[in-house]
Amino acid sequence: MFNPACRACARLAEYLDEVRAQHPLYHAAPVPPFGDAKARLLIVGLAPGLHGANRTGRPFTGDYAGILLYASLHRHGFGSRAESISMDDGLKLIDCRITNAVKCLPPANKPLPAEMRACNPYLSAELAGLPPGAVVLALGQIAHRAVLLGCGLKQSALPFVHGAEHVLPTGQRLIDSYHCSRYNTQTRRLTEAMFDAVMARCRVLLDAACSV
């Protein structure tokens, strides 16, 4: 299970020590998943951002990427409000949980492959605990790869394609989306409409699973 004091990756733990010294009010520790462990929609991001999730302690909160994510979740009935501001803002996720492939802030936003592997048992446990009919939404190729690893699949088993739907060995669905990062949205690789369409598809799949 998630360890809020994890120091398994020396490089990340030492980096967090430096960041904590520079920013004493920041969370600057592994960022736990947000939302009910039994939620049927699991969203997997990459890793906390320096002045976002690493500051607030909640995934995609204070990060540019969270603006589109939380607004879209709210539009599709997965969030009680359209914004996530801080741990104590009262926002509730509805049948949705958000986690990251890597729980600690990586230097330059780039976790190393060994760090991805070392952190993966947390994600693997989250995937194993999903209820029947759940949908996993991978934000970006790194999250997609982390989900495959977490399910014991080879990396070649399922290709990452924006909008693609895959069936995981447990029967649950995996949906891919480009990451809702500032770079992807500002270059319009990912538009609000594209992201909304992915979220709408998650909603349809979950509603269909309810009615069988």
Contacts of 181 (CB under 8 A, 6+ apart): 64, 65, 140
Nearer to ligand URA, 30 or 130 (CB): 30
With binding defined as CB under 6 A, does residue 52 bind ligand URA? yes
Contacts of 178 (CB under 8 A, 6+ apart): 139, 140, 162, 184, 189, 190, 194
With binding defined as CB under 6 A, does residue 65 bind ligand URA? yes
With binding defined as CB under 6 A, does residue 46 bind ligand URA? yes
CA distance 63 to 66: 5
Exposure string (b/e) for 140-158, b if CB count within 10 Å is 16 or more? Answer: bbbbbbbbbbbbebeeeeb
- Tell me whether residue 88 is exposed, middle or buried, using C-beta atoms within 10 angstroms of its C-beta: 0 to 12, 13 to 18, 19 or more: exposed
With binding defined as CB under 6 A, does residue 130 bind ligand URA? no
Compose the 80-119 pattern: x for residues touching ligand URA by CB under 6 A, - for all others.
Answer: --------------------x-------------------
The window from 44-52, 85-93, 115-123, 200-208 that contacts ligand URA (CB under 6 A) reads 44-52
* Closest separation in Å from C-beta 127 to ligand URA: 17
With binding defined as CB under 6 A, does residue 49 bind ligand URA? yes
The window from 4-12, 56-64, 119-127, 165-173 that contacts ligand URA (CB under 6 A) reads 56-64
Nearer to ligand URA, 63 or 176 (CB): 63
In order of 7, 119, 145, the CA distances from 149 in angstroms are 21, 11, 6
With binding defined as CB under 6 A, does residue 26 bind ligand URA? no
With binding defined as CB under 6 A, does residue 45 bind ligand URA? yes
Q: Write out the two tokens for 7.
A: 């120091």
Contacting positions for ligand URA (CB under 6 A): 45-49, 52-53, 59-60, 63, 65, 100
